[in-house]
A and B are shown apart, each in its own frame.
Chain A
Amino acid sequence: MTSSVLSVRDLSFAYNGSDNFSLSIPNFDLYPGEKVAIIGPNGAGKTTFLQAISLLLKPTTGTIIFDTKEIRNQEDTLGYHRSTAFIPQKPVLYNRSVKENVGIGLKIRGMKNPETEERVFDMLKKFGIGHLANRNALSVSGGEARRIMLARGLILNPRIIWMDEPFGDLDETVRRELIEDLIPILSQSGCATVFVTHNQDETYQLADKFMVMVKGEIVQSGNGHEVFANPVSQEVAEFIGIKNIIPGRVVKTENDIVSVALTSGINQSAKILLVAGQKPHAENVVVCIPPESIVIVSDEKESIHLSSRNALEGTIERVIPGRYFAWVEIDCGVSLTVSVTNESVKELGLSRGKPVRLLIKSTAIKLLEK
């Protein structure tokens, strides 16, 4: 394995006079070319993490080893800043022309004009904003401002690029265009990327590693499948948008089949769910049922052939229509959300108040530690 470009040990940060939040990162390693997404709910400390690890905030404790050399003093910090680039969340532009904005980092590094100009124009072209070169940067649109900031960072050939919600306030089309332009530029540059976001869609395209941050701590990390299909806790599951999270207790384990008694008010039809292929580590667990793996049936007979499934009875509370799928909320003592295609809603005549039968495959249910 190649050696890491950045190693962080025991990083912590606490705001003065605030007991509510503290950042605590025991371990963080970043390898060349790696693209890491830090995801997590609002207020989880993602921005604080990014600012502390990039030394824009002075960490309370911690060791940062950049390029096998520990950062000890102001001079090291300056060198670190000059080898990395930070793209802030809000548009931050100087009251100068666009080309001066993009070239300012090179000027800071003592580069003189003709060479700077050439590289600036190259970069502006890469980001498709060559026509803006002489405009005042404060007069550009939100999407253009993002491009200027990214160009200003990437022109420096950074070893690491930090991005704080890089596409945060952009509308869908602008965001997609920018991401598509950015992907080749980033992989060409070969720099390691760490970016913070609460939007999960953009992470899939840009990142190869995911870290979930909750209350100042990284609670889970791994590739997309590891994180999104197997959330480690209820908090992570809720954040990544998993519905149908119900607390339960393991009552029996037999031949790979775990029987879980649901502790919160499910009705008589399903006090116990059968779960296959999972090994719970504790007695108290959280059951996650993906909405797309619940099947609604109206015909009694269907369930006979599918005895290995869990069968529940309930009444439709609400049908929330969508473009392709509808969310159907069903009261089975607890409320379960099921995703159904619009055609099925019509075919089965699903509407408020209708009693239905639900089938859930035992292999589709996930057990999480509480």
Chain B
Amino acid sequence: MSDLFTIIKASLQVSGISLLIAGLIGIPAGIIIGLSSFRGKKWFIALVNTGMGLPPVLVGLVVALLLWRSGPFGFMGLLYSKTAMVIAQTIIALPLITAFTIAGIQRIEPELIRQTIALGATKLQLFRIVFQEARLTILVAVMAGFGSIISEVGAVMMVGGNIKGDTVVLTTGIMQETRMGNFENALWMGAVLLALSFAINLSLTLIQQKGIK
């Protein structure tokens, strides 16, 4: 049972930190991209949107190649560590969070942005006000990002290495146990994964729905 707790902890740690980093980058980036106009903006957004469908295995492969001992970042010795898993999951969640945030910002009426400027807002104040206007969509962005990484196996398996007591997370654990024929353990882990996912999405949804009157 203590094994299970280690695994749950690892799952929450890896996906939680990844989500935090992806959110801290993706939300401001999405706001800036959504508000600004530059050449090739549509192309850039199309690229970010494509990133939403990034296959985790592919991300895992690229991150593994980069961190491989003979690879460009091999000297850091990060492969098969939680840090490597966080890097991979951040890359998976980032386009999702950015794209949803952009969509949320673009749904705001241009008139509202103009009015905010007319009211004398500085750039930073405009960002904050726009963030608050798009908060419901941005929470969806966070939920989508979380959903995509907590349930993902490919990347964490490839860069984490599924090391017992260290880099095993719920999804890779389920795989392992199933392969070994321990269906009961696999099912328990599955149930825990679902319960976790539900609990986190429930709290985010409650926060979100509070904003709707």
Contacts and interface: CB of A to CB of B under 8 A. Distances in A.
Interface in B106-153: 109, 111-112, 114-115, 117-122, 125, 129, 132-133
Given A90-B111, A92-B109, A139-B213, A54 B125 contact: no
B125 A108 contact: yes
A88 B115 contact: yes
Given A82-B120, A90-B109, A109-B120, 20 more contacts: A56-B118, A78-B122, A81-B118, A84-B118, A85-B118, A85-B119, A88-B111, A88-B114, A88-B115, A90-B111, A92-B109, A94-B132, A104-B129, A105-B119, A105-B120, A108-B119, A108-B125, A136-B213, A152-B119, A156-B119
B72 interface: no
Interface residues of B, number: 17
A108 B118 contact: no
A54 B118 contact: yes
Nearest to A83: B120
Given A94-B129, A94-B133, A139-B213, A78 B111 contact: no
B211 interface: yes
Interface in A95-113: 95-96, 104-105, 108-109
Interface of A: 51, 54, 56, 78, 81-82, 84-86, 88, 90, 92, 94-96, 104-105, 108-109, 136, 139, 152, 156
| Most B-side CB within 10 Å, residue of A78, A92, A105 | A92
| Most A-side CB within 10 Å, residue of B109, B112, B115, B122 | B115
A133 to B, nearest CB: 14
Contacts of B114: 51, 56, 86, 88
Nearest to A94: B133
Interface in B174-213: 211, 213
Q: Which 6 A-B pairs have the closest CB atoms?
A: A82-B120, A86-B118, A136-B213, A105-B119, A81-B120, A92-B115
Nearest to B121: A108
Contacts of B213: 136, 139
Contact of B119 (A95, A96, A104): A104
Contacts of B129: 94, 104
A300 B111 CA distance: 63
A56 B120 CA distance: 11
A95 B211 CA distance: 9
Nearest to A149: B115
Contacts of A104: 119, 129
A92 B117 CA distance: 13
Nearest to B122: A78
Contact of B112 (A94, A139, A152, A156): A94
A108 B120 contact: yes
24 contacts: A51-B114, A56-B114, A81-B118, A81-B119, A81-B120, A84-B118, A85-B118, A86-B118, A88-B114, A88-B118, A90-B109, A90-B111, A92-B109, A92-B111, A92-B112, A92-B115, A94-B129, A95-B133, A95-B211, A104-B129, A108-B120, A108-B121, A109-B120, A136-B213
Nearest to B120: A82
A78 B121 CA distance: 8
B180 to A, nearest CB: 52
Nearest to B211: A95
Nearest to A77: B117
Contacts of B117: 56, 81
A108 B211 CA distance: 22
A152 B121 CA distance: 14
| Most B-side CB within 10 Å, residue of A56, A90, A94, A139 | A94
